[in-house]
């Protein structure tokens, strides 16, 4: 191998190494950016109920309704009317919050569907306080919360709650 051939071989090798390094760096950066985000854990989804329950304790219907997506559907526990917009959800909670509800999960089954959607379903119990007499009432109900992560925030997109049938 003469000097010219060795120089060409060195240039070709160096060019190949630079190209490979550039490609690897590009894939590394793109891979990090485009890598699938991990799914939420069942514990993270279950804790969304605590966030909702804490909002109930504020007594602020707007704060509670703010946890629902703009296109959410609410099938509430103590109303026969389906709520399908923000104003309807606020209206429901303005009445419901008068009873100072405090919820407690009895049984919860969480299914994380993908990195942006999950379902929490089960049984819960509410302690309601009559605003006139102070008498406490306990209401057991079944529930389903469907959550979607929108713009990085978990929101309720579907919430169904109904009292347990007797028997």
For the stretch 33-77, pLDDT in tens is 666 778 899 999 999 999 999 999 999 999 999 999 999 999 999
pTM here is: 0.77
For the chain, the domain total comes to 2
Same domain, 18 and 98: no
Domain carrying residue 151: 42-163
What is the rounded CA–CA span in Å between residue 72 and residue 64?
Answer: 13
Helix (H) or strand (E) holding 18: helix 3-34
How far, in Å, are 15, 116, 136, 147, 153 from residue 52 at the CA level? 59, 18, 21, 12, 13
| CATH code of the domain in which 144 resides | 3.10.450.50
Same domain, 52 and 80: yes
CA-CA-CA-CA dihedral for 154, 155, 160, 164, to nearest 10 = 50
C-beta neighbour count of 91 within 10 angstroms: 16
φ/ψ (deg, to 5) at 35: -60, 140
Same domain, 26 and 56: no
Q: How confident is the model at residue 24 (pLDDT cuts 50, 70, 90)?
A: very low
């Amino acid at each position: 191998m003469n000097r010219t051939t060795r120089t060409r071989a060195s240039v070709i090798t160096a060019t190949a190494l630079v190209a490979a390094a550039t490609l690897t760096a590009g894939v590394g950066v793109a891979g990090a950016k485009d890598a699938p985000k991990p799914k939420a854990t069942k514990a993270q989804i279950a804790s969304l109920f605590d966030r909702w329950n804490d909002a109930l304790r504020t007594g602020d219907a707007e704060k509670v309704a703010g946890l629902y997506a703009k296109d959410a559907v609410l099938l509430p526990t103590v109303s026969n009317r389906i709520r399908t917009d923000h104003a309807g959800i606020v209206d429901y909670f303005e009445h419901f919050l008068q009873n100072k509800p405090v919820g407690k999960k009895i049984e919860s089954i969480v299914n994380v569907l993908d990195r942006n959607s999950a379902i929490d379903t089960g049984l819960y119990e509410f302690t309601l306080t009559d605003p006139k007499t102070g008498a406490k009432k306990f209401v057991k109900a079944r529930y389903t919360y469907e959550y979607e992560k929108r713009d990085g925030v978990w929101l309720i997109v579907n919430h169904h709650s109904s009292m347990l049938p007797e028997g």
